[in-house]
Amino acid sequence: MASRNTKDKTLIEITVVGKDREGVVAEITNSIFRNGGNIEQINQKVVHGLFGMHLEASFYNTVKLNEIHSELRELSAKLQMEIKAHVEEPSRKKNVALLVSKEPHCLSSILNALQDKEIDSNISVIIGNESTLKGIADDFSIPFHSVSYESSSANAESKILEVVEEYNIDLIVLARYMRVLTPNFVWRYPNRIINIHPSLLPAFPGAYAYVQAFERGAKIVGCTAHFVTEELDQGPIICQDAFKVMEDDTLESIKMKGQQLEAATLLEAVKLFLEDRLDVYWSKVHTLSKS
């Protein structure tokens, strides 16, 4: 999960993305060791020549963050790769970015929870692949950025990454965002992107889950909040919920019930993250008790 601080140590999350080349892992880990850190977790993948690495390092006692950031910037230039370090300051609220398309139910649920003080965070920005939901953002006085995919997915993702970095985002929430994020995007925010999928994964993949459930006569329909990975709808599951399908249910009534459940389930996942109650290891999410 994202970097976190405890009383006696600081965890720093480092992500590396770029064209695959030799020696990257050694360069980064040696930098950590030189600065007195220990490796807690490390994962690396290569897809079509694109290298991605996620590393968590622990530092005890005094942490010279300026020196660490400076050395990582030098390595970034040397290796010609994007290298970023994320340190979560315990004294501030987490910054959240909401990504949306047309459907408002998940967005409204989170914003209403914020207004009612059910969640404690900064909803810093809302990003849409179109401007349909801008009015809701305006009602809550939250900046809205419309990023079109018309030119190319790569250009759109680059613009979204710029916005996310500008607002120093700790958590990205896909509030029924109807676009698939590429590994180039996902690797930059490991276990910090939460999606809501309209079925009990692994089943009924894709955008027409409720249609498939209705046509196949499913007796139980549900939804899944999960962390996003480069493998579509395969990320670690945070929470799930379901409802029984009645004999008199129609496709429309199933959709309505499903959307209500999506909003509630996604909100629960967001709450757990913001309360630092999610831990991910061996591709499973473990929910921690309230401290």
233 assigned to active site: yes
CA separation (Å) from 225 to 60, 188, 271, 273, 285? 34, 20, 12, 12, 11
Q: Report the distance separating Cα 83 and Cα 14, nearest Å.
A: 7
232 three-class SS = coil
197 three-class SS = strand
Q: Where are the beta strands (DSSP E) in the chain?
A: 9-19, 37-47, 50-60, 82-86, 95-100, 122-128, 144-146, 171-174, 193-197, 220-227, 237-244, 278-281, 284-287
DSSP 163: H
Which among 116, 120, 233, 248 is annotated as catalytic? 233
Catalytic amino acids?
A: 233
